[in-house]
Amino acid sequence: MRHLKAEGFQMHLLLGEGGPLLNDYRSICSVTLWPAPKPYVMGSVADKVLGKLGLWEQFHQRQRQQEQQTVSAELGLESVDLILVNTVTSSRWFAHLAIPEKIPVVTFVHELDMSVRIYTQPQQLAYLLRRTNHLLSVSKATARYYEQQHGFDPARITLFTLIDTPALERAVQRAREQPTLYTALGIADDALIVGGCGNAEWRKGNDLFVTLARQISGRSNNANIHFVWVGVPPGPLHDDLSLDIRKAGLAGRVHLLPPTPDVLRYMNRFDVFVLCSREDPYPLVVFEAGLSTVPVVCFDNAGGSPELVEADGGFVVPYLDLDTMSARTLDLLNQPELRTTMGNRLCQKILDRHPAHQSVETIVTLFDQLISKHG
């Protein structure tokens, strides 16, 4: 949005709800929040009466229509030149807006099968994709999913990844200049560190990371290999994983750290980054690892990362093949020169393929073409 504003675009943002970035958004443009669900149509007692009279649904629909009309009026849809839908999750709100047919719609997709199933409803997603004039896809794997599973015309799909590479480079450099955080974990300066990063959820493969640690530990006599995952807060999953870690004899070697803004201070010290995700369209963590010159080992058929890692930025292994993943990780741990070569190559590919200005030019050109065509 900052890049688009710098290019002269005027924007109005519709958010499903507020959050910690709300003021940042408002510093860029006008913001409308979708009305929060009301507990009652008319009140606790009145709703019961309406229910008994068989009128509650009618009044509820009227209330929703009024909310939608209010949002539409605030957005000023009749004077909008183009709509950018930033995620398929937004289909839940898009479906309730009467978007004039003359307005082109661009949808940015960075969700695959699992996320689509969790965060969308089939009818709402189908409507959004049917109404979408052009699809921006974060990776080839993601584009292929919408083409094959949802029948979207590949001629109307453009690969688009906006990574502020210079800013990320600066953040990596700042992290390198900071004191180590590993002393507090009891990890020696000469330890080899296998890293993971991501939310605490099944899709990210936190459980696979623990199994991987067990396999690597079983294959290597080096007790100075540690496994660090950043992104698992205290809670039931942390407790379950900790139980596995203890029963596998890995206490003190597998470290589960909560989400932190200091993630790059941990990552820049990784020797190998393993992406255990069962599904990840084109994860930022691979960019962060690569710019930290850390080679990546990831699964094939789990998203777009193999398109960047390829055969020279780490290793791509068959889906859920932890045996091969542990073997390739050990290859990197045992061969410092290979680690350095692959880490440097991954870094260079990110710099070559993802200059921020090129991404902005791509989207500005597309917007201008669509606005001109539909104007």
**CB of 288 closer than 8 Å to CB of 312:** no
pLDDT tens string for the chain (375 positions)?
888 999 899 999 999 888 899 999 999 999 988 876 555 555 566 656 556 666 556 655 666 666 766 777 778 888 899 999 999 999 988 988 888 889 999 999 989 999 999 899 999 999 999 999 999 998 999 999 999 999 999 999 998 887 888 888 999 999 999 999 999 999 999 999 999 999 998 999 999 999 999 999 999 988 899 999 999 999 999 999 999 999 999 999 999 999 999 999 999 999 999 999 999 988 889 999 999 999 999 999 999 999 999 999 999 999 999 999 999 999 999 999 999 999 999 999 999 888 776 678 888 999 999 988 876
Q: 365 and 320, same structural domain?
A: no
> What confidence score (pLDDT) does residue 72 get?
73
Q: 11 and 159, same structural domain?
A: yes
Q: pTM of the full predicted structure?
A: 0.83
Q: 237 and 109, same structural domain?
A: no
Angle between helix axes 236-247 and 206-219 (nearest 10 degrees) is: 10
The Cα 58–Cα 249 span in angstroms is 61
Range of the domain at 140: 2-163+356-374
Q: Using DSSP, state whether 204 is helix, strand or coil.
A: helix
The Cα 177–Cα 292 span in angstroms is 12
The number of beta carbons lying within 10 Å of the beta carbon of residue 103 is: 18
The Cα 206–Cα 239 span in angstroms is 12
> What confidence score (pLDDT) does residue 190 get?
92
- 29-32-38 Cα angle (round to 5): 160
Query: Could you tell me which of 44, 40, 135 has the C-alpha nearest to residue 88?
Result: 135
Q: 222 and 125, same structural domain?
A: no
- 362-4-199 Cα angle (round to 5): 85
Q: Residues near 198 by Cβ (< 8 Å), separated by ≥ 6?
A: 204, 205, 206, 229, 231, 277, 280, 283, 285
Provide the CB-side half-sphere exposure for 45 (13 A, CA).
Answer: 0
Residue 138 sits in a domain whose CATH number is 3.40.50.2000
For the chain, the straight-line distance linking the first and the last C-alpha, in angstroms and rounded, comes to 22
Query: Could you tell me which of 334, 304, 302, 331 has the C-alpha nearest to residue 315?
Result: 331
Q: 97 and 35, same structural domain?
A: yes
The Cα 40–Cα 56 span in angstroms is 10
The Cα 283–Cα 61 span in angstroms is 40
Q: 67 and 178, same structural domain?
A: no
| Amino acid (1-letter code) at residue 56 | W
**Alpha-carbon distances of 103 from 65, 85, 368, rounded to whole Å:** 21, 13, 13
> What confidence score (pLDDT) does residue 310 get?
95
Q: 224 and 203, same structural domain?
A: yes
Q: 228 and 262, same structural domain?
A: yes
> What confidence score (pLDDT) does residue 340 get?
96
**CB of 276 closer than 8 Å to CB of 205:** yes
Q: 115 and 217, same structural domain?
A: no
Q: Provide the domain count of the chain.
A: 2
Q: Using DSSP, state whether 344 is helix, strand or coil.
A: helix
Q: 349 and 202, same structural domain?
A: yes
C-alpha dihedral (308, 195, 231, 184), degrees to nearest 10: -150
- 60-66-67 Cα angle (round to 5): 90
> What confidence score (pLDDT) does residue 59 get?
57
> What confidence score (pLDDT) does residue 223 get?
84
Q: What is the DSSP string of 31-91?
A: EEEPPPPPS-SS-HHHHHHHHHTT-HHHHHHHHHHHHHHHHHHHHTGGG-S-EEE--GGGH
**Alpha-carbon distances of 236 from 233, 239, 244, 246, 287, rounded to whole Å:** 9, 5, 13, 15, 29
Q: 216 and 134, same structural domain?
A: no
Q: 109 and 188, same structural domain?
A: no
Tokens (6 digits) for 195: 């890293």
